[in-house]
A and B are shown apart, each in its own frame.
Chain A
Amino acid sequence: MAKFGRYLLAPVLGALMATTAMAQSAMTDVGTPRNETLIVQNFDGKAANPDQQNPLNAYAIWRGFRELGWSYLWEDDTATGKSYPELADGMPEALNPEHTKFRVKIRPGVYWSDGVEFTTDDIVYTLATSFKYKDKLTNVAGITSYIKPDSWKAIDKYTFEVETQKPAYDFATVMGVYSWASPFIPVPKHVFEKQADVTTFKNDNPVTLGPYTVKAFDPNGFWQVWQLRDDWKRSGWGNLGTPAPKYVLYKDFGAEETRTLAFVKNQYDEDTFMSPDSIQAAQAKNPAIQTFSPTMPFNDMNDACSYGVYINQQKAPFDKPEVRWALALSLDLQTIGITAVNGQFKAAALPLSDTPITNPLFYQPLLGFLKDLKLSDGYQPFNADFGQQLVDKLKDQGVDASVLPTGAEVQKGYGAGWWKYDPAESEKLLNSVGIKKGSDGFYTMPDGSPWSIEFVIPSDWNKVMQRVGFSIADSWKKAGFNVSARQVDNGEFGTVQNTNSKFTLMVNWANTCVYNSNFLNSWRVFNPDNVKPVDSNDPLNGNLLRVTDKGIFDLVADATKRETTSPEFLADGQKIASALVTGMAEINLMNIPTTIPTNSYYWTGYPKADNFYAAPYTWWSSFKKTIVTIKPTGKQ
């Protein structure tokens, strides 16, 4: 028995001793020195296909490939919204007035991680392979629907020409990055052409263009560690600066409970969407944990997208602007924001986020429009004092005045204003279209029948939207709308948003993603091809707002023929935003609050409100800027 006991205890004791030894030498769980390793929480938790690393197919996209492994022709400076060349040597040159032919030069002296030079052969091979196997490769549709078939040719090792199917003024943000991703990822010809079947080639431990290579990955999908290339200077973005961490570990630290505990113990450095409550608890235990901003709202508000209530404008009675406005004016957004996100949000009245990039392009030029806007009965719905009122309310509720913004910071923190909370005006608008309150206090349809409204919100796969959704439903219910919030999983969420017959109202973000002047990224989908009958079961191809306004379609069509940075193009975007607001096509609520707490025990210099050199997300390619900007603290 004693002998058996020894056998049983040996591996346990061995493991314990090994752990103790690891702790003493401050190594990570994957065997890299902790002070040389930047550790980030996985955006998606666990990857189900960690060994699938071929970017021509659906691959383990959230494991750092986009940020550290791949490289693009053009990148997006997320602090300014402007494109800059990465693999390319300058911006693309349009070769015809129609903007369908382009010449691109690439930088000489860029090498793949196996020492082979990156040339236009790789570009041509990637394009040709994408088209050749477009029926079998699952991540090439973005390119094969944009580039004209067989239109590419390499002029020399560093120059190629290519044509697009339609006039393209956004060549740099389609063939390169727009905010977070690009549909065009060059692959190494010398590796791929040797494969018997590129459509099933996994490409695990890939040859990379970025300055890092995969050191190891968990076949179960919980972690992946990257190592800096010795020759990083000649990598795709070796000219951006010196990458500080020798290793970058992506790991899932589990449910928020265990993540918070691990964060407190300095086991990792950057999180994704941690709830404000958990951040507050963690900060109380560990002063190295920081929010994006030291004052409220503490979160980063610079995501490309905004949350809003999407309305099926084709379905009666929501086809009437009076009804849509009535819904907007029945929302007490201050209470909703305090209840759902502890008052940590930035209101956005236009159908796009209000960020340092979009504010001068859309919000400031349209502030006069918002203030002067009148509804059909002459009512002026805009409340420019929304931010200050919210600050006052938070103060009344006992929030420490030292963490609340003052003066001009109020507008920066809480936005330029939002709609008035005015249930009386809401009732007046509804009455004008025959909708009146019944004896039970709820509004009825014009024919007197009960009016029950289904409001679809995410279940716990998006806790912020879920909480916002419940608070919205509560606000509407108090105003007399018989609304029921239905939580759905993310798969059903997509089905509802895409199917007219299943959709009435929902919280969403997908059609309000405008990061810079190029609003077409989000609003290109507003065209007559993307309108289906109200009872259709066929999926929509975009246009989730169910826009049917010909005026907006014309503006979109006009914009596709203009330079995306020209004043005329921007004017089209401002007119579209104005038209969407006038008809209340979508009740835009707030910028997506992304908490992104960081831990400065091992590394400092993360993107923050007062040091905004890049978007703070570890799952965008803006992470490149973080990698070359952060500094080690020297702690062991």
Chain B
Amino acid sequence: MGVLQYVAKRVGLYLAVLFIGLTITFFLPRLLPTNPIDAYISQLQSRANGQLTAEAIIQLRTNLEELYGLKGNLFSQYLGYLNRVIFHLDFGPSFTYYPTPVSSMILTALPWTLGLLLIATLIAWVLGNLVGVVAGYFHTKRAATVLEVVGILLYPIPYYILAVSVILLLAYVIPIFPLSPTFPVGPLTPALVGSIVYNSTLPALTLVLAGFGWNILSMKALAVATTEEPYVTFARLKGTSNWTRMVRYVFRNAMLPQVTALALSLGTVFNGALLTEILFSYPGVGLLMRTAASSGDYDVLYGAITLSIVAVATAGLVIDLIYPLLDPRIRHR
């Protein structure tokens, strides 16, 4: 198979996944047992002390359908949605917070999500894999078992328990970090950056600890298996050093599945980290999606889910495209 053909096939698959994803995204929120217009009218009725008459509500419903773009049958709404999203990257206004545009809500939340999750995911991946390969390569040594125990201890702890424990320890018992962050506003100065880093450290730490354990165990298992491979034995017989065998023979070969997992993890960071955002009052896409789902705010859901689909599909495409560079077996097939 030629390179061009390989790339074209992958890109075609990518576009098909995006189209199917966008279509499902359009129809799925409409299966929610929630009507955004009714939800908003209930709020207004409460503020108006029950004054809204039946006629007033019918008029209000018509107005809101117009404003929210919910006029017409489902198919015409679907075509309008594809047109807006694909050609104009426009997700329309939030229903619950009309007239705030969805794009501005996502753009406000996204940098926080990416800043926290990208860094935490990368740190957890790098540290976990480094510890894991040492634990796997030297798996017969007592010290390696100690490293593995770290992973075994951390991995099964439910995230909620882990996060609350970290909060208790580092924000209450030893109050180094804030119990709930306050991100200041203003121009991006070193002091502001310092404050953001300081306020984000605790949620980042919990995410690193949560991801760290899985990476250790996963890499350790891969490293143990790879260590048994004939080419590692051959390298040992050739007289190569432990360091060389561990890094160049074991780590490099064991890394492939881990790279796939990393790429997919990076794709899913666009979903946000709901529990982290709730526990740490951290701004992000997760809370945005949760609020939108509970209030039937289709447009916000469309925006956030589409972003996530694009990210995960793109991550998959990137893996497909760079795999030949990492694995000669694929390159030469």
**Interface residues of A, Cβ cutoff 8 Å to B:** 11-12, 14-16, 18-19, 29-31, 45-46, 48-49, 52, 57-58, 134-136, 138-139, 141-146, 170, 173-174, 178, 181-183, 199-200, 216-223, 251-255, 257-259, 261-262, 265, 267, 461, 488-492, 494-496, 498, 502, 510, 520-522, 524-525, 529-530, 539, 541-542
Contacts of B19 in A (CB 8 A): none
Query: Of the candidates A29, A495, A530, which one forms a contact with B35 in the assembled complex, judged by CB atoms under 8 Å apart?
Result: A495
Query: Of the candidates A251, A488, A496, A539, which one forms a contact with B182 in the assembled complex, judged by CB atoms under 8 Å apart?
Result: A251
Tell whether, in the assembled complex, residue A219 and residue B52 are in contact, meaning their CB atoms are under 8 Å apart: no
- What's the minimum C-beta distance from B253 to chain A, rounded to whole angstroms? 28
Query: Of the candidates A173, A218, A488, which one forms a contact with B33 in the assembled complex, judged by CB atoms under 8 Å apart?
Result: A488
- What's the minimum C-beta distance from A198 to chain B, rounded to whole angstroms? 11
**CB of B70 closer than 8 Å to a CB of A:** no
**In whole angstroms, how far apart are the Cα atoms of A136 and B94 in the complex?**
14
Tell whether, in the assembled complex, residue A222 and residue B183 are in contact, meaning their CB atoms are under 8 Å apart: yes
Tell whether, in the assembled complex, residue B50 and residue A542 are in contact, meaning their CB atoms are under 8 Å apart: yes
Tell whether, in the assembled complex, residue B98 and residue A138 are in contact, meaning their CB atoms are under 8 Å apart: yes
Tell whether, in the assembled complex, residue A520 and residue B50 are in contact, meaning their CB atoms are under 8 Å apart: yes
Tell whether, in the assembled complex, residue B39 and residue A494 are in contact, meaning their CB atoms are under 8 Å apart: yes
Nearest-neighbor residue (CB-CB) of A528 within chain B: B54
Contacts of A510 in B (CB 8 A): 42, 46
**In whole angstroms, how far apart are the Cα atoms of A262 and B168 in the complex?**
11
Query: Of the candidates B41, B97, B182, which one forms a contact with A223 in the assembled complex, judged by CB atoms under 8 Å apart?
Result: B182
**In whole angstroms, how far apart are the Cα atoms of A183 and B50 in the complex?**
11
Nearest-neighbor residue (CB-CB) of A42 within chain B: B281
**CB of B178 closer than 8 Å to a CB of A:** yes
Nearest-neighbor residue (CB-CB) of A252 within chain B: B281
Nearest-neighbor residue (CB-CB) of A54 within chain B: B99
Interface residues of B in 175-200 (CB under 8 A from A): 175-176, 178-185, 190-191, 193-195, 197-198
Contacts of A498 in B (CB 8 A): 35, 38, 42
Contacts of B182 in A (CB 8 A): 29-30, 218, 222-223, 251
**In whole angstroms, how far apart are the Cα atoms of A360 and B105 in the complex?**
49
**In whole angstroms, how far apart are the Cα atoms of A538 and B38 in the complex?**
10
**In whole angstroms, how far apart are the Cα atoms of A69 and B100 in the complex?**
21
- What's the minimum C-beta distance from B276 to chain A, rounded to whole angstroms? 11
**CB of B272 closer than 8 Å to a CB of A:** no
**CB of B293 closer than 8 Å to a CB of A:** yes
- What's the minimum C-beta distance from A469 to chain B, rounded to whole angstroms? 17
**In whole angstroms, how far apart are the Cα atoms of A354 and B63 in the complex?**
39
- What's the minimum C-beta distance from B330 to chain A, rounded to whole angstroms? 35
Tell whether, in the assembled complex, residue B179 and residue A491 are in contact, meaning their CB atoms are under 8 Å apart: no
Tell whether, in the assembled complex, residue A220 and residue B283 are in contact, meaning their CB atoms are under 8 Å apart: yes
Query: Of the candidates B51, B63, B100, which one forms a contact with A145 in the assembled complex, judged by CB atoms under 8 Å apart?
Result: B51
Nearest-neighbor residue (CB-CB) of A522 within chain B: B50
Nearest-neighbor residue (CB-CB) of B44 within chain A: A141
- Can you list 18 A-B contacts with CB-CB less than 8 angstroms, sorted by A residue number? A14-B191, A14-B194, A16-B198, A18-B195, A29-B178, A29-B182, A48-B96, A142-B47, A221-B283, A254-B280, A258-B180, A258-B281, A259-B180, A521-B49, A529-B53, A539-B35, A541-B45, A541-B53
Contacts of B193 in A (CB 8 A): 11
Most chain B beta carbons < 10 A, residue from A135, A139, A255, A530 = A255
**In whole angstroms, how far apart are the Cα atoms of A48 and B290 in the complex?**
11
- What's the minimum C-beta distance from A552 to chain B, rounded to whole angstroms? 15
Nearest-neighbor residue (CB-CB) of B97 within chain A: A49
Q: Known contacts A18-B195, A220-B108; decide if A253 and B281 are in contact (CB<8 Å).
A: yes
Nearest-neighbor residue (CB-CB) of B198 within chain A: A15
- What's the minimum C-beta distance from A102 to chain B, rounded to whole angstroms? 15
Which 5 pairs from chain A and chain B are nearest by CB?
A142-B48, A491-B34, A15-B198, A145-B56, A220-B283
Interface residues of B in 51-105 (CB under 8 A from A): 51-57, 60, 63-64, 66-67, 94, 96-100, 105
- What's the minimum C-beta distance from A306 to chain B, rounded to whole angstroms? 15
Tell whether, in the assembled complex, residue A542 and residue B100 are in contact, meaning their CB atoms are under 8 Å apart: no
**CB of B171 closer than 8 Å to a CB of A:** yes
**In whole angstroms, how far apart are the Cα atoms of A606 and B79 in the complex?**
56
Contacts of A259 in B (CB 8 A): 180
Contacts of A19 in B (CB 8 A): 178, 198
Most chain A beta carbons < 10 A, residue from B38, B55, B96, B171 = B38
Query: Of the candidates A58, A145, A257, which one forms a contact with B164 in the assembled complex, judged by CB atoms under 8 Å apart?
Result: A257
Contacts of A219 in B (CB 8 A): 108, 185
Contacts of B171 in A (CB 8 A): 258, 261
Contacts of B283 in A (CB 8 A): 46, 220-222
Contacts of A183 in B (CB 8 A): 47-49, 51
Contacts of B183 in A (CB 8 A): 218, 220, 222
**In whole angstroms, how far apart are the Cα atoms of A521 and B31 in the complex?**
34
Nearest-neighbor residue (CB-CB) of B48 within chain A: A142
9 other A-B residue contacts (CB within 8 Å) besides A15-B194, A58-B96, A541-B41: A16-B198, A48-B94, A142-B44, A142-B47, A170-B49, A183-B47, A222-B182, A258-B180, A491-B35
